[in-house]
Amino acid sequence: MLSPSRNHRKRPALLATAAAAAGLVLAGLLPATVSHAADEESCRPDGLYRTPGVAVPYCSVYDSAGREKMGADHQRRLIGYFTGWRTGKDGTPAYLASDIPWDKITHINYAFAHVDAGNRISVGADSATNAATGMTWPGVSGAEMDATLPYKGHFNLLNKFKKQHPDVKTLISVGGWAETGGYFDDSGKRVDSGGFYSMATNADGSVNQSGIDTFADSAVQFLRKYGFNGVDIDYEYPTSMKDAGNPLDYPVSNARRAGLVKGYAALMKTLREKLDRAGAADGRHYLLTVAAPSSGYLLRGMETFQVQKYLDYVNIMSYDLHGAWNEYVGPNASLFDDGKDAELAAAGVYSTSQYGGIGYLNTDWAYHYFRGSMPAGRINIGLPYYTRGFKNVTGGTDGLWGRAPSTNCPAGSGLTKCGDGATGIDNLWHDLDTGGKESPAGSNPMWHAKNLEKGVVGDYVTRYGFPADTRLTGTYARKYDSTLVAPWLWNAEKKVFLSTEDEQSVKAKADYVVDRGIGGTMVWELAGDYAWNAAEGQYEPGSTLTTAMYEKFRSATPYGARRATIDMPAEALDIDVRFEQFPLGDSNYPISPKLKITNNTPATLPGGTEFRFDYATSAPGNAKDQSGWGTSVIRSDHTGGNVGGLRGDYHRVSLKLPGWQSLAPGASVELDFVYYLPVSTPSNWTVTFGGKTYALAGDLARDTTVVNPGTGTTPTPTPTEPGGPCTAPAWDAATAYGGGSTVSHQGHDWKAKWWTKGEEPGTTGEWGVWQDLGAC
């Protein structure tokens, strides 16, 4: 598999932000009451977790089909990250709330809050230099403070404009690349507190429920205080893959790898329940979302992303798919695979049969990963309004799929071998490494990339430390690959490759969203969008790309609100199914968890009971069990490689309880399962016995009723074909059997494939020692 993306979200040294004082029902920001006359369950999105005993006011956010209400001209989400550090106070161009295209977007995620040393959500100490709650911008048009609010800064301006645009929702984003495992104090120094890692998971790998409760309680208070509509968790990353995330966090994160997924699940469940209780009290539904990775490497160590059921929607970080953390030159955020990805080819992905030829470094693959467990409308794909790039590129086609190796890796990156990232004028939005030097990454806002393409040196370059007489070397020729849906700039003289986005790629991605019923898009970050200033003869910050998506979305059909693509039963049984006991990290290949089925009904499930479920086409249709349950893929919506995109959403699987085995009320059974690329939690389960098919309650599907099999329909075991008495000697745990030996056990004859002792027939799977010869 692949190395994780090393650089994700840029975070300058100091963003001191903190909480001020405010009430909940303040200046009309939050409603005092919401009528509960509507059937709230009818508004619950398909698959969203119900907090027990809480009347969640879903209809305050969702309509009777479970779709989010966003205004008549917003059929799909258009979510923009708005960062707290582009204040203009450092001399670089500001991007303030007044610059946001409020009429075009649906949601704003404010980046970032962090987890403080006491496990509470925080934006720093309150002061006049606090960008979130204390800073002001005298003389800047549109940045005048709302005097009715008891805090200033970005939070004041966000709420001021929200009054003018009441359909727009705001969320507080917590974490990000730089503040997942620590935070910046008021002097700008990073505090290695452990952040999400230690707040959710103890040093021994157990769940830190106390820390989670403290954080979740503080999040509720924070939303009420500052008028946010929800919380967006940017935890990068709760995966068992070693050395994933920010290298500064490794001393804490690597020690906890075995427990991070459980801690993450406990965190999201607790947040969901506490937000739901607060929402019921406040008469409004609070949103809970996450920024989720798109990397197959990271997702392999996140089990089946079990937290999806607690989320209103997921924002896929479908960018940073290629960058200077390694030598392979490719697009930042291609929509599709083209079968030529040099990084995947080097890893044997196209040539190893178990992968099915599926390339997994593209937006379409990531979308289908999540589609396996969620309706299309609860998924948003990510777009970057920034570039990534390389220099000294050799090979490839105009740089694409070439190489740019380097051993001069940024200090603090955790790398000894990396890519040769673009620098200087090709790296305008550069970070500094831990040694204080420029971190080569080819990171630029799109408006700067457009000027490079046009051969223009913008008048802003002096504000980024470049001399006024700066000249460009070579020509930045725009290139475009229609299979990938990816533009880039290629400077043949400098051998510089800059992966970009522009109107052509963004409109194609918007069409993709519309055509597949996807919920919408998320962009990082709004400040990177562009507009042409004819008077100045240069591109500047603007809203060209956001407007292009808005125009595509405004007249689109409603998004897909149903997870299943087949008719599902209206009655559901309380039978729990879960994939667990995943091997950790690199040991988890092939992906080989245990599937545990627990019968919580009062009826005995007889031998022959059939279970069916769907799993995502992000993995090939070659899943199997190794426990003799006869797992087979009975329908595939996609077969073969994925050049140009995966054609469908699901593989449907059938497996049956062995004929000799029943499952009593309260009993559980486990089987060994195997698949070859990551999938999110399999869904659309059915169970069939006694001539009737049911759904499963754990799917949380709309329009289903949980029942117990009635007295008249409680099944009895189906008799097996008579085969006479078992004549082979009964299996004995204390006896050693050589290859070819035959025994009887549980009404079946079994043949040993090799020497064995103490291994019970029926438990070793199809690849194990005992071969099932059938009933006797």
User: CA torsion, points 435, 440, 443, 448, in degrees to nearest 10?
Assistant: 110
Residue 701 lies in a domain: yes
- Encode pLDDT of 97-117 as tens digits: 999 999 999 999 999 999 999
Judgement on whether residues 752 and 626 belong to the same structural domain of the protein? no
- Residue 738, burial from CB neighbour count under 10 angstroms (0-12, 13-18, 19+): exposed
Distance (Å, whole) CA 668 – CA 675: 22
Check residue 204 and give its pLDDT. Answer: 96
Residue 475 lies in a domain: no
Name the residue with tokens 């906890």.
256
Residue 73 lies in a domain: yes
Judgement on whether residues 52 and 182 belong to the same structural domain of the protein? yes
Name the token pair of 380: 């948003």
| CA–CA–CA angle 663, 664, 666 (5° rounding) | 110
Judgement on whether residues 637 and 676 belong to the same structural domain of the protein? yes
Domain tally, the chain = 3
Residue 122 lies in a domain: yes
Total-model pTM: 0.88
Give how far Cα 307 sits from Cα of 339, 370, 545, 685, Å: 31, 11, 31, 18
- The enclosing domain of 701 has a CATH number of 2.60.40.290
Check residue 134 and give its pLDDT. Answer: 98
Judgement on whether residues 628 and 771 belong to the same structural domain of the protein? no
- Alpha helix positions (H), 477-612: 503-515, 544-553
Judgement on whether residues 743 and 662 belong to the same structural domain of the protein? no
Strand, coil or helix: what is 685?
A: strand
Check residue 3 and give its pLDDT. Answer: 34
Judgement on whether residues 209 and 70 belong to the same structural domain of the protein? yes
Judgement on whether residues 698 and 757 belong to the same structural domain of the protein? no
Using alpha carbons, select from 62, 148, 69, 154 the residue that is nearest to residue 106. 69
Check residue 725 and give its pLDDT. Answer: 62
Distance (Å, whole) CA 742 – CA 442: 66
Check residue 64 and give its pLDDT. Answer: 96
DSSP state for residue 400 in the 8-state scheme: B
DSSP state for residue 58 in the 8-state scheme: G
Which of 317, 334, 355 is the endpoint of a domain? 317
Judgement on whether residues 34 and 153 belong to the same structural domain of the protein? yes
Q: Please count the CA atoms within 13 angstroms of the CA of 547 that sit on its side-chain side.
A: 8
Cis peptide before 590 (omega within 30 of 0): yes
Check residue 744 and give its pLDDT. Answer: 87
- Do residues 354 and 461 make contact, with C-beta atoms less than 8 angstroms apart? no
- Phi first, then psi, for residue 661 (nearest 5°) are -115, 130
Residue 429 lies in a domain: no
Judgement on whether residues 674 and 762 belong to the same structural domain of the protein? no
Residue 713 lies in a domain: no
Which of 300, 317, 334 is the endpoint of a domain? 317
Using alpha carbons, select from 160, 151, 109, 106 the residue that is nearest to residue 132. 151
Distance (Å, whole) CA 42 – CA 58: 8
Segments of 265-304 assigned E as strands: 287-293
- Do residues 266 and 200 make contact, with C-beta atoms less than 8 angstroms apart? yes
Check residue 40 and give its pLDDT. Answer: 92
Residue 243 lies in a domain: yes
- The enclosing domain of 135 has a CATH number of 3.20.20.80
- The enclosing domain of 755 has a CATH number of 2.10.10.20
Judgement on whether residues 226 and 99 belong to the same structural domain of the protein? yes
Which of 261, 285, 317 is the endpoint of a domain? 317
Residue 671 lies in a domain: yes
Residue numbers in the chain where pLDDT is lower than 70: 1-38, 710-725, 739, 754, 765-768
Name the token pair of 327: 């030598």
Check residue 1 and give its pLDDT. Answer: 33
End-to-end CA, the chain? 46
User: CA torsion, points 141, 143, 147, 150, in degrees to nearest 10?
Assistant: -170
Judgement on whether residues 690 and 770 belong to the same structural domain of the protein? no
List the domain range (segments joined by +) for residue 750. Answer: 736-775
Judgement on whether residues 659 and 743 belong to the same structural domain of the protein? no
Cis peptide before 236 (omega within 30 of 0): no
Using alpha carbons, select from 30, 185, 197, 159 the residue that is nearest to residue 82. 159
